[in-house]
Amino acid sequence: MEDSQPRMIHLVIDGQPVDVNEGATLLDAARQAGKEVPTICYHDHCTANGLCRMCVVEVEGARLLSPACVAQAAEGMTVHTRTARVERSRRTILEMLASSVDLSDAPEIQGLMALYSADAQRFPDASRRSHPVIDDNPMYIRDYSKCVLCWRCVQVCAEDAQYTFALNFSKRGYETSIATFYDKGMMETSCVFCGQCVGVCPTGALKPKRQWLLETGMGAEDVLSQTRSKARRKRRSEHTPGND
Ligand code: SF4
Ligand code: FES
């Protein structure tokens, strides 16, 4: 008879023995051991892609640091989550982010900056991401000057949740950004305005339109008239026979 019990993996994290199911990541194992490993691109409800490298840990015998959110725990591993090398790597990642992205609406990343004593001015000559705010629908705005390219919005819009595929990466290298297909306005895409992308964005790059308008100083009445009526108009036109 086939044994359906998952195989247990035994490893040591920061000197503490941990047993995890086969297939667990180093992040799972660290959390199980009560160790705090910082993450940026990782989200509990999204597929991990190991994009930001904030979660790196040191595995004894490995040449490179391992991204804990995607690296699988293996039998007999000895892992360190807060060595000087790990901390330097995380600090540098934060400093590079701060040098090129507006993190003013990213409280979790700001907290990590303080925790790792990251110097936001370390790379003063870095070119900063600068995009005009995209205000093309009644539900949310997109401010890609604040985007850290974590890919969470792309994933919840795709197979991780909504299967809508309105968002994707555009361009390459430093020019990489999140965009709609052919840069269409959001109303012309397959977006159903579920709001899940806004919910998972860690930096305020995606923000509810009403919140954004209130932050600009607009009064509540004007905010409602700007957003509610347009939303209603869109819904009404979608439900009008012959408009599909
Ligand atoms: S818009 Fe937000 S969720 Fe999407 S990639 Fe940028 S930071 Fe991440
Ligand atoms: S949190 Fe692991 S690579 Fe981003």
Name residue, tokens 């004894």.
60
CB 190 within 8 A of CB 164: yes
Q: Which atom of ligand 2 is nearest to the CA of 56?
A: 2
Its pTM stands at 0.89
Mutate-to-test residue for ligand 2 from 54, 108, 148, highest number of ligand atoms within 8 A of CB: 54
> What average pLDDT does this structure show over 9-38?
97
d(CA 158, CA 153): 9
Q: Is 37 in the pocket of ligand 1 (CB under 6 A)?
A: no
Residue spans of the domains in the chain: they are: 8-82, 140-238
CA angle, 133 as apex, 128 and 137 as ends, to 5°?
A: 150
More confident residue, 109 or 222: 109
Q: Are 68 and 30 in contact (CB under 8 A)?
A: yes
b or e along 162-190 (b: 16 or more beta carbons within 10 Å of the residue's beta carbon)? Answer: bebebbeeeeeeeeeebbbeeeeebeebe
Indicate the top mutation candidate among 39, 52, 104, 151 to test ligand 1's pocket, ranked by most ligand atoms within 8 A of CB. Answer: 151
What pLDDT band is residue 92 in, cutting at 50, 70 and 90?
very high
Ligand nearest to the CA of 207: 1
Ligand 1 site, residue 149, Cβ cutoff 6 A: yes
Average pLDDT along the chain: 92
**Residue 39 C-alpha from the chain's centroid:** 9
Which has more confidence, 28 or 237?
A: 28
Split at pLDDT 50, 70, 90, the class of 132 is very high
Q: Whose CA is nearest to atom 7 of ligand 1?
A: 147
Distance from C-alpha of 209 to C-alpha of 224, rounded to nearest angstrom: 10
Nearest CA to ligand 1 atom 6: 147
Residue nearest to atom 1 of ligand 2 (CA): 39
pLDDT in tens, 187-243: 999 999 999 999 999 999 999 999 999 998 988 888 888 787 555 655 556 655 555
3-state secondary structure the chain: CCCCCCCEEEEEECCEEEEEECCCEHHHHHHHCCCCCCCCCCCCCCCCCCCCCCCEEEECCCCCCEECCCCECCCCCEEECCCHHHHHHHHHHHHHHHHHCCCCCCHHHHHHHHHCCCCCCCCCCCCCCCCCCECCCCCEEECHHHCCCCCHHHHHHCCCCCCCCCEEEECCHHHCEEEEHHHCCHHHCCCCCCCHHHHHCCCCCEEEHHHHHHHCCCCHHHHHHHHHHHHHHHHHHHCCCCCC
Region 171-197: mean pLDDT is: 93
Q: Quick one: which atom of ligand 2 is closest to the CA of 70? A: 2
Which pLDDT band holds residue 6 (cuts at 50, 70, 90)? Answer: confident
Q: Ligand 2 pocket: which of 37, 40, 57, 108 to mutate (most atoms <8 Å of CB)?
A: 40
- Of the chain, the percentage scoring pLDDT greater than 70 comes to 92
Q: How many CB atoms sit inside 10 A of residue 26's CB?
A: 28
Given this structure, which CATH class describes domain 140-238? alpha beta
pLDDT for the residue numbered 2: 57
Question: How is domain 8-82 classified at the architecture level of CATH?
Answer: Roll (3.10)
Q: Whose CA is closest to 153, among 97, 200, 187, 185?
A: 200
pLDDT tens-digit map of 31-75: 999 999 999 999 999 999 999 999 999 999 999 999 999 999 999
d(CA 226, CA 33): 49
